[in-house]
Amino acid sequence: MSFSIIMTCLSLAALTRGEESKDSFLWLEEVEGEKALEWVESKNRTTAGLLKQDPVFSEINKNCLEIFNSKERIAYPHIRGQYIYNFWKDEIAERGLWRRTPFLEFFKENPAWETVLDIDALCKKEGENWVYQGASILFPDYDICMLRLSRGGSDAAVMREFNLRTKAFVEGGFFIDEAKGSTAWLDRNTLLVSTDFGEGSITSSGYPRIVKLWKRGTPLNSAKALFEGKAQDVSVRASIWNKPARSYVFITRSITFYRHEYFAFENGRLLKLDLPEDARIQAVFKGQLLVELRSDWETNGHVYQQGALVSIDYDRLLEGDRNIDLLFNPGARSSLGSISTTQNHVLVNIFRNGQYDDLVKCSLENGKWIKEKETVLEHGTLSVVATEESSDRYFLTYESLLTPQSLYYEPGQGRQQEQVKSLPEYFNGNDFRVEHYESTSKDGTKIPYSVIIAKEARLDGSNPTLLYGYGGFEVSLRPRYYSTMGSAWLARGGVYVTANIRGGGEFGPQWHQAARKGNKQRSYDDFISVSEDLIQRGVCSSKTLGIMGGSNGGLLVGVAFTQRPDLYNAVVCSVPLLDMKRYGKLLAGASWMAEYGNPDLPEEWAYIKKYSPYHNVVAEKTYPKVFFKTTTRDDRVHPGHARRMAAKMERQGHEIFYFENTEGGHGSGVTNEQLACMESLVYTYLLQLLKR
């Protein structure tokens, strides 16, 4: 590196340090610092005091709590051997029961559930605020598992071996201390582990970069390293796809959020799979890898389109020969959703027109793929929630914007699908209609959005309207039945709008990639165009329009209200990114540079700084009274983003609301009571600003 380049880098680093040294709010990044928590407590007290005194708060809180604790909720099944497992929370089991019931018992009106682990009792016994985060169960015996428990709902978790027969932790069993990591069972006495092994084992994003093979009865620090990634990678992890005939073991090196290297672990050796780095392995089925393509792939004299799902023979791929079949080709307004497998079928979920799902059932016979069945329900969402590898039975759900979710069971073997359970209506869907519109973004792109509005509503600009968006990481917003939103908002005269802006995955990888890095402003232009279109149609006015988003969506609404404060009268900004200069230095922020860019590079900071909310909020403008909310235990998006933005806006003379749950991770709380309280604060705020 030349002397001039070195001096330029040093000057930029000094400038950055200079900018940060002038920031008088950096102390709020001390997550559990005494001064910072005193500030949080003061803001919580003020916000809760102002909103809870409104009579509508207690009404909404009562309704939300009844919904969250309702016995009519669906007990979502997970098939493991002879049992169906479920995790359940209510007013008694506040932190939840991990429970199970025999398969056929599940279909009874009131199944007899056996408690496997009472999280509330465990918290009391161990003096911890444990939150259940799932379990990796040994296949095919299903008698032991690695249980994930986090403190306060953070992503980092403690992993402990648990015996499902004795329903107790295994004395002297596998134990991994708190970290962002994972385990996979190679066999009963061997784990593949990615965790914090000590100095140098974590990436700059805060995730493991090493996978080790750990034998029972040996200390973790003596485990054999199988693979090491680089410090600048996002993460490295192991995964195992268990099938009746054999298991497939992979190690995934995530170079960035969207680029990966896959290695097969065969006979003690790692073999790199010859796949495009931006492709994603979605499933393994009868010796075939099912791979989603995020860019065009030219191979074997053929071009497979971006967004396609292809099938590749695993053994031939290891031998250097690509044998590829096409399962799904995207259209202009369709995209690939989830992929699930049973013993003899692949269930392919396809999202169409931003409005509804198809579920296509495929089978492989004599080396040929056959499409067996297509389930189409307009304006709704189909989701496969449970399958098993030793049969063709599975469970799926259906819901729409105005139709409560129902759980269906597909027995397989040609038998009739049956409805198992349906949620009650928590608001009268017959009082509303759903409209689908398109706005025109700044560059001319048509942006679809859906509106739930009362049938009798007048388009005179008076309707209190809540616009929701996300627009990042190829996440699709699909039609959902929101019980608490309907009860708290729609039933009180509100209108609810969902915007399918670029950056999401509604229309495949190209819809996402059109609004990444240097083109991220397109997401915000799209969202603003929907806002303007709602006003032009008379659905609402700027005085009755509010916006809401969380995480990347928190950044979205942060940009929207700083760029166009004239459009909005309320903003719910949840667990947000807001300081886009420092985001890469905070918690998992470095892993998202493939989405936003690297603010430490001058050429990339040049476009990031134009929209970074923290750097564009000024004293001279008039902004809506923003409601910032986050959680202390969020170890994905640092709570310092919301804290510092709120403090800066107050210093500038702007009024804000701020509330921070002490636990909940990258969400709104842990217990149903916490969740109901947060929902009630939000909707009380929205009703105060938009309806009265």
* Cβ–Cβ under 8 Å, residues 264 and 250: yes
Catalytic residue flag (residue 551): yes
Q: Which two tokens stand for residue 308?
A: 């396609």
Residue 47: closest CA among 567, 663, 525, 629: 629
Diameter of the chain measured on Cα atoms: 76
Where are the alpha helices (H) located in 480-630, listed in sequence order?
483-488, 509-513, 521-536, 552-563, 593-596, 602-608, 613-616
The CA-atom distances, in angstroms, between 22 and each of 16, 355, 606 are 10, 48, 20
Tell me the three-class secondary structure of 332-348, residue by residue.
Answer: CCEEEEEEEECCCCEEE
- Cβ within 8 Å of residue 300, ≥6 positions away: 322, 324
Catalytic residue flag (residue 666): yes
DSSP 216-274: TTS-GGGPEEEEE--TTSSEEEEEEEE-SS-EEEEEEEESSSS-EEEEEEETTEEEE--
Where are the alpha helices (H) located in 283-372, listed in sequence order?
314-318
Which helix or strand (DSSP H or E) is residue 58 part of? helix 55-69
Tell me the three-class secondary structure of 604-667, residue by residue.
Answer: HHHHHCCCCHHHHCCCCCCCCCEEEEEECCCCCCCCHHHHHHHHHHHHCCCCEEEEEECCCCCC
Q: Which two tokens stand for residue 351?
A: 């999202």
From the candidates 150, 450, 483, 551, give the one annotated as an active-site residue: 551
Strands across the sheet containing 380-387: 380-387, 394-400, 406-410, 418-422
For residues 308 and 331, give the distance between their C-alpha atoms in angstroms, rounded to a whole number: 10
From the candidates 150, 666, 668, 680, give the one annotated as an active-site residue: 666
Active site residues: 551, 666
